[in-house]
Amino acid sequence: MRRTTGTAVVLLALLMAVGCVTPPDPGPAVPTGIAGETADVLFFWGESCHACHQVSPFLDEVAADHPGIRIERIEIHGNPANTTRYHDVNRALNVTPRGLPEAVAGGRAFFGAAAIREGLPAAVEAIEAGRRA
Which domains are assigned to the chain? 26-132 (3.40.30.10)
Q: What are phi and psi of 113, to 5 degrees?
A: -60, -45
Q: Which ranges of the chain have pLDDT less than 70? A: 1-37
Q: How far apart are CA 32 and CA 124, in angstroms?
A: 16
Kindly report the length of the chain. 133
- The pTM of this model reads 0.73
First-to-last alpha carbon distance for the chain, in angstroms, is 56
- Measured torsion, CA atoms of residues 60, 64, 69, 75, in degrees rounded to the nearest 10: 10
pLDDT of residue 1: 43
pLDDT of residue 17: 58
- HSE-CB for 15 with a 13 A CA cutoff: 11
Q: Is 19 helix (H, G, I), strand (E, B) or coil?
A: coil
pLDDT of residue 34: 34
